[in-house]
């Protein structure tokens, strides 16, 4: 089964000479966004492409707060782009519920937030 983006999601891609280097998906959760997935082509990982790509899109998040359910091994990466670790009690209920679903399914995720300004 392939994941599909909802019509309300925003999908961004980084291309070079018609080759897909990276992509990410933002999903609306109430009045906020959740960065649900981000992927960099495996042969381009470790070169700063993902960091540059995400930083180039931070102006999109300027509309409102953006949350991320980051795998533990990616926390430092997201921190390098401006996301901060937060507690589940600090987020809107709709975001907290989804985060708890991820945790309850056994995923090793941390709750992070990008706040504009």
Q: Is the domain 10-114 a CATH 3.30.360.10 member?
A: no
Please name which of 64, 71, 62 lies closest in space to residue 39, comparing C-alpha atoms: 71
CA distance 8 to 3: 15
Q: What are phi and psi of 5, to 5 degrees?
A: -85, 140
CA distance 32 to 16: 30
Where are the domains positioned within the chain? 10-114
Tell me the pLDDT of the chain (117 aa) as tens digits: 456 778 889 999 999 999 999 999 999 988 889 998 899 999 999 999 999 999 998 887 777 789 999 999 999 999 999 999 999 999 999 999 999 999 999 999 999 999 876
Q: What are phi and psi of 33, to 5 degrees?
A: -115, 150
Please name which of 102, 89, 80, 106 lies closest in space to residue 34, comparing C-alpha atoms: 102
pLDDT attached to residue 91: 95
pLDDT attached to residue 110: 96
Coil, helix or strand for 41? Answer: coil
End-to-end CA distance of the chain: 39
pLDDT attached to residue 1: 44
- What are the structure tokens assigned to 102, written together? 């991820």
Residues in the chain: 117
């Amino acid at each position: 089964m392939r994941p599909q983006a909802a019509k309300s999601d925003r999908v961004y891609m980084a291309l070079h000479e018609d080759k897909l280097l990276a992509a990410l998906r933002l999903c609306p959760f109430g009045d906020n966004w959740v960065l649900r997935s981000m992927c960099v082509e495996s042969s381009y990982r470790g070169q700063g492409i993902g960091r540059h790509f995400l930083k180039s899109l931070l102006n999109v998040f300027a509309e409102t707060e953006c949350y991320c359910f980051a795998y533990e091994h990616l926390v430092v990466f997201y921190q390098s782009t401006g996301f901060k670790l937060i507690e589940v009690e600090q987020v809107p209920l709709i975001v907290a519920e989804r985060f708890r679903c991820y945790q309850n399914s056994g995923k090793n995720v941390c709750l992070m937030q990008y706040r504009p300004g």
